Amino acid sequence: MTKSLSELTRQAKEDISNCSSLKELDSVRVFYLGKKGKVSLELKSLSKLDPKERPQFGKQINEIKKTLQDKISLKKTELNTQKIKASIEQAAIDITLPGKTSSIGNIHPLSITLNQIEEIFINAGFLVDDGPEIEDEYHNFTALNIPGNHPARAMHDTFYFNNEYLLRTHTSPIQIRSMERDGVPIRVIAPGKVYRRDSDITHTPMFHQVEGLVIDKDINFTHLKGILHDFINSFFNDEMSLRFRPSYFPFTEPSAEVDLLSNDGQWLEILGCGMVHPKVLDNLGIDNKKYSGYAFGMGVERLTMLKYGIKDIRLFYENDLSFLSQFK
């Protein structure tokens, strides 16, 4: 074999092995074996040779052609295998990785409290009622014996829409609506959101109350004390101390605020209550000689904070999962 032929072969072999993609390999193939490729040109140059040398030279070039074709096809298989291997590796699933779990939500602490309050009172024979959050001033104030000029209106920092409509400042208007609809005797609780213009570590502009109302014949203050003691012991699952402190609400007479003795020896106010004022019954056309009853309104946030030792009321509304997920 001539020097130039063996050099050509060596170079072609080197180029083939250096290919790193099928595309590159194809250009190398065209470069050497294509119609105008180096090896093909050598074949064409046969005509210029002495006829005696032609068979020998031709044979050599054909052998080179065959060798290079074989080498290309081997390289092609190799590159194909590599390509498949790479794509398998890329798509592979690492089964030793920890799985992605979707965490399960839990009930908001205030909803837990509301559910418990409802359950306790339902077991004591109460129905659960509801009322509008956008209330008129008649149901929020007037019907509850708080006339327009009454100072108690100023006690509630009310969000007004206009002269007539407001965001209810307590759940007591539901008392009125329940009696308007169902008359007496009645035994209901009414949980819900209430609104006041107030915001600090113990107040938020929106909070929750549960109203209670019992009207029947021969209802007196001991019934009220009894139901509240039973409720509190059941809610805290413990024997708790309550203090009934004389107070004033225009819609109850007598009225009391109830304090609960906390673990650290402090009395904390949890609700307002009293015997429904005869004038409230009168406003609704209910015979207040025949019927009497009691009402109470308790703060749901306050009860929840006492139960779980939560110090800042705003935590309930910050949607911080590290806080919320503690209440399973």
Q: Which residues bind ligand PHE (CB under 6 A)?
A: 170, 172, 249, 252, 272-274, 295-297
β-strand pairing of 186-195 with 127-128? parallel
Does the CA dihedral 278-169-182-120 come out positive or negative? negative
What is residue 201's DSSP assignment? T
Please tell me the distance from the alpha carbon of residue 103 to that of residue 108, in angstroms, as a whole number.
15
Please tell me the distance from the alpha carbon of residue 183 to that of residue 204, in angstroms, as a whole number.
34
Nearest-5° Cα angle at 151, 147 to 153: 65
Q: CA dist 191 to 118, 129, 173, 269, 311, Å?
A: 8, 7, 12, 18, 23
Instruction: Please say which residue, 29 or 170, places its beta carbon nearer to ligand PHE.
Output: 170
Q: For residue 269, list its beta bridge partners.
A: 259
Identify the helix (H) or strand (E) that includes residue 318.
none
Please report where in the chains the tokens 């020896």 appear, as a residue: 265
Instruction: Please say which residue, 72 or 189, places its beta carbon nearer to ligand PHE.
Output: 189
Which two tokens mark 272?
Answer: 């307002």
β-strand pairing of 134-136 with 165-167? antiparallel
Q: CA dist 203 to 74, 160, 163, 179, Å?
A: 81, 19, 25, 30
Please report how close the Cβ of residue 209 comes to ligand PHE at its closest, in angstroms.
6
Please report how close the Cβ of residue 172 comes to ligand PHE at its closest, in angstroms.
4
Instruction: Please say which residue, 189 or 306, places its beta carbon nearer to ligand PHE.
Output: 189
Nearest to ligand PHE by Cβ — which residue?
297
Please report how close the Cβ of residue 328 comes to ligand PHE at its closest, in angstroms.
31
Please tell me the distance from the alpha carbon of residue 315 to that of residue 305, in angstroms, as a whole number.
10
Closest CA to 204 of 249, 159, 151: 159
Give buried/exposed letters for 143-161 (b at 16+ CB in 10 A, else e). bbbbeeeeeebeebebbee
